[in-house]
Structure 1
Amino acid sequence: MTDGLFIAFEGGDGAGKSTQVALLREAFERAGRAVTVTRQPGGTPLGQQIRDLVLHGDHVAPRAEALLYAADKAHHVEMLIRPALHRGDVVITDRYVDSSVAYQGAGRGLGAQEIHDLNVWAVDGLLPDLTVVVDIPAEEGRRRRGDLHDRLESEADSFHEAIRQHFLSMAAGNPQRYTVVDGTAAPEAVHADVMGWLEKLGVVGHDGLA
């Protein structure tokens, strides 16, 4: 059981998740809430080492890649996320379990259910209260990234489109926890959509955050 609120942003590379995380953080902080913002991989010193290895190092075998991401989540949850939630913070993460399910399960073909089960075990069952999928077509993500690509970003558009479709499928299967927003819209419009959804759920009030 946690006392805080746990929100994850998911979506393809170049979708604008980091911008939306920052805008939502500002909204909660203006309302006087303590906010912890993090990302996966990379939210802890160990996580940063794992991030450098899996995104910028030499080739990593797909199953090893999946296990490294799961290890990051296990450490991340115990050292950062659960303590913040127990303090009553709003925790906003840029990527979480769903990214592993989509990238390693669907993209790498390792099996969505297998990767889901591995990661849920790694995080000891801690899932977000709410998840925002920032949706963009694979070709738009590539255009936004330009010439700079890490190991995953450099994969073909077919890889990224498979990931996109898996995010959409997960969201469609659990509309109580997920919303999908149009990442091709202006950042302020995307943020307004997120806030409208949170208002509908009672997380925020009409004139601000609850």
Structure 2
Amino acid sequence: MNLPSQPPPPLGAVTRRVENLRLQVSEALRAALISGQLRPGMVYSAPALGEMLGVSATPVREAMFDLVREGLVEVLRNKGFRVTELSDRQLDQFAHVRLLLEVPAMGDVAAASDDPEVAATLESLRERAEQVARAAHDEDMVRFIQLDTDFHTDFLALAGNEELVKIARDLRNRSRLYGLEAVAKAGLLDQTVAEHSQMIDLALAGDRPGLEALVAQHIGHVRTLWAEPAK
């Protein structure tokens, strides 16, 4: 029997690796669902999704059960997972709640921008904004959703309310942007992506009214520009 050339990794390292893979798969599937790449009413098997992501069916199945608990998909016995459908009314309500919560919170960030730590964090978000822009340019909607969500939640976190950040992330995860891919292909994401840098500039300038107006406009894209195109 040949001995391995290197000792096996500690059990804890293996466990962390498995957990990280499950988290990565879960985030990728959630982003694919939000962006409309996984369509409502369609049934998807774990092996098929695993092949799409380049992983085995096991982490996909575990990740899909995470999405089941979030109400994003449902289990069909011996068939796979079906993406749940949301009404326009539900999606409108998600956007409305985001307006109520995120607009004043972002205004609070502008009001706190004279804090050196807040200002430094805002400047650091420029790199994230550039990453979002590159994902949009590459029409990589899964990565776009992941980076866009991180940008906005990191920005909101500067308001100092962790519960609000959790709610905002949950509302984003439950939303559906079925028209996003078509918008990207048409090159119409440039304007909304550019708004990220404008948000940073307005916050650093302490322009609360300006930032609040821009955030309201930005969230409005979810139910207009990014919504399902009329059939």
Report the TM-score range of the alignment, normalised by the length of the smaller protein.
under 0.3
Greater strand proportion:
1
- Normalised by the size of structure 2, how large is the TM-score? 0.24
Larger relative contact order (Cα-Cα within 8 Å, sequence gap ≥ 6): 1
- When the two structures are superposed, what TM-score results if normalisation uses the length of structure 1? 0.25
Question: Greater helix percent: which structure?
Answer: 2
